């Protein structure tokens, strides 16, 4: 005779246990021997295999009753989901941004050590830049701001102060411009796609002192201002307006900090490549509903405008416009293309049109970017452009010649076609020229005073 012990929960009644064992083993209820106390039941049986069969059937019935397998699967799946959420949501935004910055710095270091005089257009590929243009199927998460009527009116003016706006607010302002100009309706844009595209553009700007997303917003807002000021909605087609705005938004994408050669055309080509790399993503293609042939023309027109911002072509483009401006024909495609090229050039370098307190910080940012570049060029034994050398350039000297010989002549030529810009755009440029000439006079007087003092000290020492 073999004695086995089966342990049940103390809360089970003797009758329940007897009923379960008898029904499982096919014993008559009167013939099933067991003894019971508060902790256990002792079951005596003559055949071990009979009792194993009882236990198996009991276990099976418990499993069925409580759905043990399904419960285990459900728990496992829920744990996996929780682990995934921890993985996706556990990283804080600050930590993610820090990782991104660290990656950018590391990539810049790798590039700076490995390229020598390599041409920028092949040295910096999309992957080398550390940016992956991945599709964004999610709805962009930047907040939707309700612009006040005061802000809406200010956006239309060249004097708009661009320094008081966060990136999310600037994105919302750009979105508003596209809707207000009728471009969303004209090109049958999906509003969510427009959001994704703007966000993709913003994410692909570097945090350079000058050529950054705020500069992009500056150029775009000035273009929007000129469209309103010059009543271009009545003179140009909506397609032309869309080309102007889109070129303004993305013409300095992924602008490189250190350009190690004098011919910067490859840089403009690089901007075009990144812009259309983003547009090639279905989730970001704001022209997805445009006919293929029309899109080819839009694409070529945007490329033409972006390449027009190369200052090496400044004289050529302005001279061409001067030949047309006195007899300008808005029905002539060549005339309109030339006008669009001049307009984006104006917006690109229009900071001095704004009030001094808005414009002057941009000069500091640009000089900082120039000086960082020239310092790197000096350390690598490369030639340095005089206008970028911190030992030769001051704020007044950097601005006076640029305003007198580049900005004012170009804007005065545009003024022949649009006289209304004189008071709002051309006069501020003249005021800015006078401001920096006064600063130069002060700097010259201080320099002369120091020379006199040094000569006087030298004489005393002798």
List the 41-45 sheet strands across, edge first: 2-6, 41-45, 34-36
**Dihedral, CA of residue 360, residue 363, residue 364 and residue 370, to nearest 10:** 180
Q: Which residues pair with 45 in a beta bridge?
A: 2
Q: Given the residues 164, 179, 211, 335, select the one marked as catalytic.
A: 211
CB count in 10 Å sphere of residue 196 = 24
Exposure string of 125-163, with b = 16+ CB inside 10 Å and e = fewer, is: eeeebebebeebeeebebeebebeeebeebbbbbebebe
Q: For residue 213, give Cα distances in angstroms to 267, 351, 415.
A: 17, 15, 29
Q: Which residues pair with 34 in a beta bridge?
A: 43
* Separation between Cα atoms, residue 441 and residue 447, nearest integer Å: 10
Known binding-site residues equal 215, 348
Q: Which two tokens stand for residue 298?
A: 């839009």
| 211 is an active site residue | yes
Known binding-site residues for Zn(2+) equal 215, 348
Q: Is 34 helix (H, G, I), strand (E, B) or coil?
A: strand
Instruction: Please list the active-site residues.
Output: 211
């Amino acid at each position: 005779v073999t004695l086995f012990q089966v342990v049940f929960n103390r809360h089970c009644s003797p009758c329940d246990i007897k009923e379960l064992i008898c029904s499982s083993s096919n014993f008559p209820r009167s013939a099933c021997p067991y003894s019971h106390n508060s902790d256990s039941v002792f079951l005596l049986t003559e055949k071990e295999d009979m009792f194993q069969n009882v236990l198996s059937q009991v276990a099976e019935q418990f499993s069925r009753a409580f759905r043990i397998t399904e419960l285990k699967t459900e728990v496992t799946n829920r744990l996996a989901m929780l682990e995934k959420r921890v993985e996706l949501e556990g990283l804080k935004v600050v930590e993610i941004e820090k990782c991104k910055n660290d990656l950018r710095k590391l990539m810049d270091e790798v590039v700076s050590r490995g390229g020598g005089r390599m041409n920028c257009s092949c040295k910096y590929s999309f992957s080398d830049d550390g940016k992956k243009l991945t599709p964004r199927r999610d709805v962009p998460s930047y907040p939707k701001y309700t612009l006040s009527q005061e802000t809406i009116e200010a956006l239309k003016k060249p004097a708009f102060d661009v320094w008081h706006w966060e990136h999310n607010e600037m994105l919302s302002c750009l979105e508003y411009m596209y809707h207000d100009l009728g471009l969303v309706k004209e090109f049958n844009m999906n509003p969510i796609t427009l959001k994704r595209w703007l966000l993709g553009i913003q994410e692909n700007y570097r945090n350079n002192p000058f050529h950054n997303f705020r500069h992009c917003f500056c150029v775009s807002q000035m273009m929007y201002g000129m469209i309103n000021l010059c009543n271009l909605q009545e003179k140009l087609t909506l397609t032309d307006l869309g080309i102007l705005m889109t070129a303004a938004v993305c013409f300095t994408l992924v602008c490189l900090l250190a350009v190690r050669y004098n011919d910067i055309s490859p840089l403009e080509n690089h901007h075009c490549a990144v812009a259309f790399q983003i547009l090639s993503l279905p989730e970001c293609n704001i022209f997805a509903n445009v006919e293929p042939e029309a899109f080819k023309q839009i694409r070529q027109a945007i490329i033409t405008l972006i390449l027009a911002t190369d200052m090496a072509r400044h004289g050529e483009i302005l001279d061409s416009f001067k030949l047309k401006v006195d007899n300008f024909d808005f029905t002539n495609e060549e005339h309109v293309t030339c006008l669009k090229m001049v307009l984006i050039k104006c917006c690109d370098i229009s900071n001095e049109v704004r009030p001094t307190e808005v414009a002057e910080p941009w000069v500091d940012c640009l000089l900082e970017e120039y000086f960082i570049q020239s310092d790197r060029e000096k350390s690598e034994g490369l030639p340095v452009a005089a206008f970028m050398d911190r030992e030769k350039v001051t704020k007044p000297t950097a601005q006076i010649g640029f305003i007198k010989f580049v900005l004012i002549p170009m804007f005065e030529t545009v003024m022949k076609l649009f006289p209304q810009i004189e008071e709002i755009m051309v006069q501020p440029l003249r005021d800015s020229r006078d401001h920096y000439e006064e600063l130069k006079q002060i700097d010259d007087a201080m320099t002369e005073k120091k020379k006199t003092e040094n000569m006087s000290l030298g004489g005393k020492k002798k």
